Amino acid sequence: MRIRSLRWLLGAAAVPLMWMMPAPAQAAAIGAAFSSIYTLSLLPAPFGGPNYNLGGLAFEAGNSNVLMIGGGSDTSAATLQGVTVTRDPVFLNVTGFSGSSTLATSPDVDGGIAYGPGGVLFFTQYTDNTVGELKPGSVSPDKTIALPGVITSTGGLAFIPAGFPGAGNAAITSFNGQTICSAPVTADGFGTYDFGTCANTVSFGTTIEGIQYVPLGTPGFSAPSILVDLYSSGSTGQVVAYTLDSNGMPVLGSATPLLTGLGTAEGITIDPVTGDFLISEFTPLHNVYEVHPTTQAALGAPEPGTWSLIAVALIGLGCRLRR
């Protein structure tokens, strides 16, 4: 467990470390149902200047300190940028970014970037009904495939994990069509993949982008769930949690906002180190938001650096008792 769950041990020697976290966003806020569980941090714009629209995002396979983000999203010149993250030395939350480099071309990349079978990186393309595929090590798409059954344009994409209904299928959102559907994925014999017809369609009635299945056991989620970026629902973007039907699709009646008040909600991913949710904003601020447990509690041993803080606190407490 992390240091905040050890304050009973540190007692008066434990010093709150919230000053180490970025200041929370002013307009965006955690939804009421999650407000006692999660805290919001606003991270700076990672690269590209004030008009560099951000697309989907995902951590690079095998490197939890590089966050991949679609840069210049929704344009033919869009690229997949690898952004080095900086982390809090105690809790290991992402606190900012320290430079980026182009990993691959990703024309028209939108709100969906996800690893799928075979370690292939898949990304949605706007305004096409297509998905690009990058084999490991590729710097340009190895395949671009049309998606039958997707209405007007792809938006977000995720692969339904093991243990969830519909496991193994791809879940795909349509931005303009305001829908989500699921499709089977099969190998084509060349290291890339084909998609079957997208079915089991659920209509939202508002534009949607990135999606992320929530790992089982995540605080605040008692049933298998998915997070959906409502790009601009009403006047602001939202990230909303839904439980799943038998196909792994959202049950609309279960809608529970996790994050509200964004300019636009574009991509979403999970930090493999902390389990925090990271959300990109297409416009107007081009920032990345981080949603992390308020208690910072997690199973397992304390993070690197935590033991040294505990030791210092115990030494100080021992000296106080000897006096």
Give the CATH number for residue 84. Answer: 2.115.10
Query: What local confidence, expressed as pLDDT, does residue 20 receive?
Result: 38
pLDDT at site 49: 55
pLDDT at 284: 72
Q: Walk across the sheet containing 54-60 and list its strands.
A: 54-60, 63-71, 79-87, 94-105
Residue environment code for 20-33, b if the CB has 16+ CB neighbours within 10 A, otherwise e: ebbeebeebebbee
The pLDDT, as a whole number, for residue 316 is 42
Single out the residue of 214, 187, 194, 82 nearest to residue 144, CA to CA.
Answer: 194
First and final CA of the chain: distance in angstroms?
31
Q: Name the residue type at position 8.
A: W
Range of the domain at 229: 3-322
- Half-sphere exposure (Cβ direction) of 218: Cα atoms closer than 13 Å: 24
Q: Structure tokens of 164?
A: 């969830």
What is the structure's pLDDT at 45? 80
Report whether 96 contacts 45 (CB < 8 A): no
- When divided into structural domains, the chain yields a total of 1
Instruction: Give average pLDDT by consecutive 10-residue segment, the chain, 323 residues.
Output: 28 33 62 97 76 87 96 90 95 92 94 97 93 98 94 93 97 95 97 97 96 97 97 86 98 97 93 96 83 67 39 39 33
Predicted model pTM: 0.83
pLDDT value at residue 152: 83
